[in-house]
Every structure is written in structure tokens, then in C-alpha cells.
Amino acid sequence: MGKKITLSVIKADVGSYVGHSNVYPALLEKAQGILSGSPHLIDACVTHVGDDINLIMTHEFERNSGEIHQLAWDTFQACTEIAKKFKLYGAGQDLLTDAFSGNIKGLGPGVAEMTIEERRSEPIIIFMADKTEPGAWNLPLYKIFADPFNTAGLVIDPNMHEGFRFEVRDLIENKRVIFSTPEEIYDLLSSCSIGDLQEVSLNKIKYVQSLIKN
């Protein structure tokens, strides 16, 4: 049994070039320096999409850890000070309060976290975006988990033949429907308008084999 670790991805816009298009390099360097020096983290990477700084961190705390959220908050605060110094556009704009209250949720930054039992090989894909629609990842997720011309393992690995269940959410009417692939691929593509980024979003994808075992 592998060791449990938590992956935390926390992002915020704390200042950018005019046009919300990029992040000033000094902000990324500051953020990486803070995370690299933290005793709370196993590993960390700082990157950006548009003008959002993304902090990608692994650690042994649970999700919603006060220590990790405080670290992210302090990092964004430090980057905000640099943004103010260089008079960057929208300095600190995603930080909605001056004081940290134990959890970064609701304070402006975006948060995604999960705790896993780490295996020998543990590739993880992190989708990051700025100024897009909730359904931006509909097509990539479909191709990963349902398109055998993209993911050969769907055909090669017998354990994958049961396929996946896609939970699709109608964001306008607040309804959901679940499709099983591969048998309901056409219904998934046509009835749920998988290409409509504004109204329909893939909410969950579950491995059928694991559902059968459970």
C-alpha cells in the first residue's frame, strides 16, 4: 500500500501586464522561492496560465489544510507586494480580504485538491485555464477516457473494456445525466452537446471496473 499524499493546486491573479495576458517573471520567481523553502511540502511547481499564478504542491497534510492554505496565501501576498512595487495591473485583485482566516476558500483564489495513495508510477494531468468557459475540458476529457484512437489503452487493456461513466451537468437548468461509454458514446456526444462550453460541463468521470468492485 502506497503512502497517502495530497496534491493541492491553488491559483490567483495578483498582478499582471496590461491586458491580463501574462505574469511578470519576478512574481513567479518569488513564489517558487517561497514554496521551495517551505518545510511543509514534498515538492512544488509554480507556473501560470494567462495572468493567473498556479501553485502546484504535494504534501502529507489533508485537504483544506490550514498550513498549506496559509502558505499559499502568504505566497500570493508576497507576490502582491512585488506587483505593487512595479505598478502592475490589478495588483492583488484576487485577494478579497486582508486577513487569512484558516482556509483560503472564499477569499478569492481558486483551489483544487485531492488525496491519493501514491503508486510507483503516478502520472497526473492538471487542467489549468484563464478566461474560459466551465466546459473547456469537455472534448479533451472525452478523448482521454472514451476515444480509442486517442487512448489506445481503452482497447489494449482488458480491464478498460467496461469503460467509464460520464456525469454531464446542465449548468443552466441545474440537471445532470450519466452516460456509460463505450455503449452510449453517440448519446454523450449528441444529446448532451459536449461541444457547448457555456451550458454543459463534464462534472465527473468514474471507472466502471472500480464501481463493480465496490
Contact criterion met (CB below 8 Å) for 20 and 51: yes
Number of structural domains (the chain) is 2
pLDDT tier, 214 (very low <50, low <70, confident <90, very high otherwise): very low
Query: Roughly how many angstroms between the first and final C-alpha of the chain, as a whole number?
Result: 18
- Mean pLDDT for the stretch of residues 104-111: 89
pLDDT of residue 105: 85
Give a yes or no: residue 104 inside a domain: yes
For residue 181, the enclosing domain spans 138-213
> 208 exposed, middle or buried (CB, 10 Å; 0-12, 13-18, 19+)?
middle
pLDDT of residue 24: 93
Residues 8 and 84 in one domain: yes
Residues 97 and 22 in one domain: yes
- Measured in degrees and rounded to the nearest 5, phi and psi for residue 153 equal -60, -25
Give a yes or no: residue 194 inside a domain: yes
Give a yes or no: residue 48 inside a domain: yes
> Tens digits of per-residue pLDDT, 140-190?
889 999 999 999 999 999 888 889 999 988 878 888 889 999 999 998 887
Identify the CATH number of the domain in which residue 105 sits.
3.30.70.100
* C-alpha–C-alpha distance, residues 205 and 178, integer Å: 9
CA-wise closest residue to 77 among 34, 38, 111, 40: 34
The sheet that has 4-12: what strands, in order across it? 41-49, 52-59, 4-12, 110-117
Give a yes or no: residue 143 inside a domain: yes
Residues 15 and 113 in one domain: yes
For 99, residues 6+ apart whose C-beta sits below 8 A from its C-beta are: none
Residues 74 and 105 in one domain: yes
